[in-house]
Amino acid sequence: MMYQAFLLTIPLLMAFQTSSTSPLDSVKKIGPTSTPKVGKVDEIRNRAQFIGRSCKEVRDVYGQSENGLYSLTTATGVVYQTFCDMTTAGGGWTLVASVHEDNIYGEVHSWTSQQGNNTNWSKGEGNWANRKTFGTVEVATDDDFKNPGYYAIIAEDMSVWHVPNNTPVSHWKLAAIMRYHTERRFLHLYGGNLYYLFHRYPVEYNVGKHLSDNGPSIPIVYDLGDKESTKMFYGPNTRGETEGGFISFRATNHERATTAICSGVKPKGGNVEHYCIGGGGFFPQGNPLQCGDFTSFAWNGYGTNVGWSASKQMLESAVLLFYR
Amino acid sequence: MMYQAFLLTIPLLMAFQTSSTSPLDSVKKIGPTSTPKVGKVDEIRNRAQFIGRSCKEVRDVYGQSENGLYSLTTATGVVYQTFCDMTTAGGGWTLVASVHEDNIYGEVHSWTSQQGNNTNWSKGEGNWANRKTFGTVEVATDDDFKNPGYYAIIAEDMSVWHVPNNTPVSHWKLAAIMRYHTERRFLHLYGGNLYYLFHRYPVEYNVGKHLSDNGPSIPIVYDLGDKESTKMFYGPNTRGETEGGFISFRATNHERATTAICSGVKPKGGNVEHYCIGGGGFFPQGNPLQCGDFTSFAWNGYGTNVGWSASKQMLESAVLLFYR
Amino acid sequence: MMYQAFLLTIPLLMAFQTSSTSPLDSVKKIGPTSTPKVGKVDEIRNRAQFIGRSCKEVRDVYGQSENGLYSLTTATGVVYQTFCDMTTAGGGWTLVASVHEDNIYGEVHSWTSQQGNNTNWSKGEGNWANRKTFGTVEVATDDDFKNPGYYAIIAEDMSVWHVPNNTPVSHWKLAAIMRYHTERRFLHLYGGNLYYLFHRYPVEYNVGKHLSDNGPSIPIVYDLGDKESTKMFYGPNTRGETEGGFISFRATNHERATTAICSGVKPKGGNVEHYCIGGGGFFPQGNPLQCGDFTSFAWNGYGTNVGWSASKQMLESAVLLFYR
């Protein structure tokens, strides 16, 4: 065994020293100007052994405190890799999903509907309340992402990062435009994660009236930004009907269409499609201008931040969802 | 190495003890009321070493006798996880695929066509006879599933479980409404698995007449249920043209459309779309009422079990396919 | 630990000896007549330890010289399996993608557009310049394939294999109809890989004129075939406007539609859709006859090699892309 241990140590040491330079700076349009740095070799090799059910477990059981990718397993034994935030408010946050808008004027969206706006498809993809998985963690800011942790991890709180599209993993935290987390252990009341929460509050057309039938709004603690900066990310018209400092779930609009998550705000009206993301399969108004993953964030033009339109920063940042 | 061995043992022990309680009972509509139980820690850790080419090999070579997830590899070296049934009729059964109906009135189905009913698309997706893979084992009852074992394992017999949708892996066997297996080593005659069988008997529109051009029907041994219970799962009108106690392949209907598998029965007529699953890309009659993954199981209403309609139990259970 | 080491060695030895015979010869229509052979057991077991950032690293650091599947990791730590060509021109070539034509008359293609020919979708899927991944290495000749190496590996040269569809991995090199590589280290000039190259030369409708706005053409060294055999694979009409012995990138046609890669040739005219593969989301002419993954290789009939139509050999071979 000594020979194998040797084999495993030295080569990796050499391996990760070989890729020092980077040509990324030659690519302006896709942001960051350097490749992700690799941590110490010993740590990388050891991480393969830290198999926990969540990043919280990896932190508690193995004492890991560095942000990055770790291997997790479900109770059944399905092994997958995801990103752990080990530094925010004590760490132990597991990335379970990301919502990314690649074409707000298109009709194909993982977090709403892949079959376009359709009255006979009231639940759309149903991905908020099913166990399908998609995407890969390393490109969670480039594309929609959902891993087994979304349904398999039983958690208490959530953390949310808004990270500019196409940012490398190593830059996520620094590049984020907004970061916050909850501290009320609210998930205990709704089944322990979003999979169960959205079974109680289905993201489906015509399940209720706006405001009276919305899901919970939970107070948040900002790690980057505040109530005011949050409201500025959304269109001017939305500021009168939102209150900053919350994360809200299953918000219904005037036309009885539903959205999944209002990030950073609590709805006080029925135009939720302009500041809440995800949704069911049917939005009666202005088809298909309301059925993006970012619902109707571009109602008054793309990234104009005029009228009901969100800012370009918000529109071009992926929403990363963490559990703890 | 002792230090690493220690590291690997103790933490896992602690890790899997941390998730004792479960909030699942608070979610009525999705069935089971407890999370899958994790086996002994030693076993979990050791399983990572049981890399065989099939569950039969894992049983024969490593003496494993517990149902659950194991790691398998293809001859080329592709490693994947799947479920092994180590208890039925001697065990060693590898789960290679599941057929799940998520929207029988829709037009998008992995086991028939993703492009709707289409005369120019006579083979549909062709997934019965290609090497594409999709889905994940843990949610094989929630969504269509196909792993490399489907084409890579050379087997002799098949086992089939009908398991209610959204059942956790640990409950599959108990929750099943029908389970059976073959004992004639019939796969030897058709290439060793379904990938090769369906190359000889293409699931394609207009490849033959009903009955005369059907594929083989193989006698089955019931592990749960019997000939009578099988026929009761399908519509009353089908009972006159089916014989229980068989699994049948590539059955053609009156309109020259083909279906892939008739589970539990042998066709004696040409209305196979009402009791056989999967299919090619074109069904001439009643478009799109015949092109679900469960072909036309809801012809006389959803789950009514009236006329040609199958029972709700059958319609809402995934069909799990095993090799040995 | 000795017990575990023993457990790991012997069983595998037994395991891989159990699958000796093969029924594949009974399946004529899908080519090869034997299953892939498995290398020596020691090697298979050891490969799990060869975790490098590229096949070049696996060759340089671990001294591996056998073709086959290896485990690679990105800088972030995402682990994936792919094929390494360790023998051509010194070896160290990493398979990062394959382009496969499954239905040239269809409208759904990973390397062009999944939404059909569409003026409002000028970039199509954008997969040439994003970090999405799809397919699996073992079936890279059966279906489109793209792994993290496509964007994560910083390389100097490319190698390309044209391999008949549905060929098993172990037969790829022997079955190939054309193989070549570059030696000029050209990727240094374009960001280190295709992901960056195609950010500089977007594969998008209406980004430039034919010839004047094409991307680079790089001289190649043939490992199988030559300039003449290359030209024979494409339609007679193309031979007057192509020069063999090159690999070319981002070629624009007369109608301002763009293609991604011209394999083996340099365009000297504007009918590039007949000998270059991949493309943006809109081809103004003869919709949808030009929007396959193999663009318009069947313009004058399927595999006729008449007029602008490529040979059946070329049309039914996947294009495997390697980096070093």
pLDDT in tens, A241-295: 999 999 999 999 999 999 999 999 999 999 999 999 998 877 787 766 676 788 8
Report the pLDDT value the prediction gives residue C112, as an integer from 0 to 100: 83
- Per-residue burial over A45-79, b if 16 or more Cβ lie within 10 Å, else e, is bebeebbbbbbbbbbbbbebeebbbbbbbbbbbbe
Q: Which two tokens stand for residue C63?
A: 């001294």
Indicate the pLDDT class of residue C6, thresholds 50, 70 and 90: very low
Q: Is the pLDDT of residue C57 over 80?
A: yes
Higher pLDDT: C7 or B217? It is B217
Percentage of chain C lying above the pLDDT 90 cut: 66
A161-165, A196-200, B293-297, C159-163: segment of lowest average pLDDT: B293-297
Residue in B49, B130, B131 closest to C4 by CB? B49
The one-letter code for the residue type at B10 is I
Q: Is the pLDDT of residue A32 over 70?
A: no
pLDDT in tens, C96-139: 999 998 777 776 688 887 766 777 777 778 899 999 999 999 99
Distance CA C138, CA C152 (A): 20
Q: What number is the ipTM of this complex?
A: 0.83
Q: How far is B187 from chain A (nearest CA, A)?
A: 30
- Residue A162 in 3-state DSSP? strand
Cα radius of gyration rounded to whole Å, chain A: 20
Report the pLDDT value the prediction gives residue C123, as an integer from 0 to 100: 78
Indicate the pLDDT class of residue C84, thresholds 50, 70 and 90: very high
| Chain C residue nearest residue A43, CA to CA | C77
Q: B-side interface with A, Cβ within 8 Å?
A: 1, 4, 7-8, 11-12, 14-16, 18-19, 21-24, 26-27, 29-30, 35-38, 44, 47, 68-69, 81, 105-106, 108, 136-139, 142-143, 166, 168-170
Q: Which two tokens stand for residue A183?
A: 């501290």
Extended beta strands in C183-276, E state: 217-219, 221-224, 242-252, 258-267
pLDDT in tens, A95-138: 999 999 877 777 668 888 776 677 777 777 889 999 999 999 99
Q: Which two tokens stand for residue A320?
A: 């990363």
Residue A118 main-chain phi, psi, to 5 deg: -150, 120
Integer CA distances (angstroms), C102 to B129, C160, C171, in order: 13, 19, 20
- Residue A227 in 3-state DSSP? helix
Contact across the interface for A61 and B15, Cβ inside 8 Å: yes
Q: C-side interface with A, Cβ within 8 Å?
A: 1-2, 5, 46, 49-53, 57, 60-62, 74-79, 115, 120-121, 130-133, 148, 154, 188, 191-192, 196, 199-200
Q: What is the bridge-based pairing of β-strands B317-323 and B242-252?
A: unpaired
- Residue C246 in 3-state DSSP? strand
Residue in A23, A69, A143 closest to C76 by CB? A69
A40 in Cβ contact with A15 (< 8 Å): no
Q: Is the pLDDT of residue C235 over 70?
A: yes
Report the pLDDT value the prediction gives residue A260, as an integer from 0 to 100: 95
Beta bridge partners of C322: C95, C159
Within 8 A of C116 by CB-CB distance, chain A residues are none
Q: Is the pLDDT of residue C39 over 60?
A: no
Within 8 A of A199 by CB-CB distance, chain B residues are 27, 29-30
Residue in A60, A133, A199 closest to B29 by CB? A199
Report the pLDDT value the prediction gives residue A27, as an integer from 0 to 100: 35
Residue in C57, C75, C121 closest to A36 by CB? C75
Within 8 A of C47 by CB-CB distance, chain B residues are 77
| Chain C residue nearest residue B48, CA to CA | C8
Torsion of CA C61, C63, C68, C69, to 10 degrees: -30
| 10-residue stretch averages of pLDDT, chain B, 324 residues long | 26 29 35 35 55 93 92 92 97 97 76 74 85 95 96 98 96 98 98 98 92 96 97 95 97 93 97 91 74 84 93 96 98
Residue in B18, B27, B169 closest to A196 by CB? B27
Give the sign of the dihedral formed by CA A89, CA A92, CA A96, CA A100.
positive
Q: Average pLDDT for residues C281-308, to the nearest whole number?
A: 83
Q: Half-sphere exposure (CA, 13 Å, Cβ side) for B41?
A: 13
B307 in Cβ contact with B85 (< 8 Å): no
Q: DSSP assignment of A41-56, as one string?
A: HHHHHHHTT--BSSHH
Integer CA distances (angstroms), A235 to A298, A300, A305, in order: 9, 9, 5
Contact across the interface for B18 and A53, Cβ inside 8 Å: yes
Residue B287: partners with Cβ closer than 8 Å, 6 or more residues away: B117
Report the pLDDT value the prediction gives residue C48, as an integer from 0 to 100: 58
Percentage of chain C lying above the pLDDT 70 cut: 82
Higher pLDDT: A40 or A123? It is A123
Q: Average pLDDT for residues C43-53, to the nearest whole number?
A: 66
A197's enclosing H/E stretch is: helix A194-200
| Chain A residue nearest residue C52, CA to CA | A15
Q: Is the pLDDT of residue C87 over 70?
A: yes
Indicate the pLDDT class of residue A180, thresholds 50, 70 and 90: very high
Torsion of CA B131, B137, B143, B149, to 10 degrees: 20
Q: Which two tokens stand for residue B319?
A: 């069909």
Distance CA A102, CA A108 (A): 10
Report the pLDDT value the prediction gives residue A105, as an integer from 0 to 100: 74
Q: How far is A14 from chain B (nearest CA, A)?
A: 21
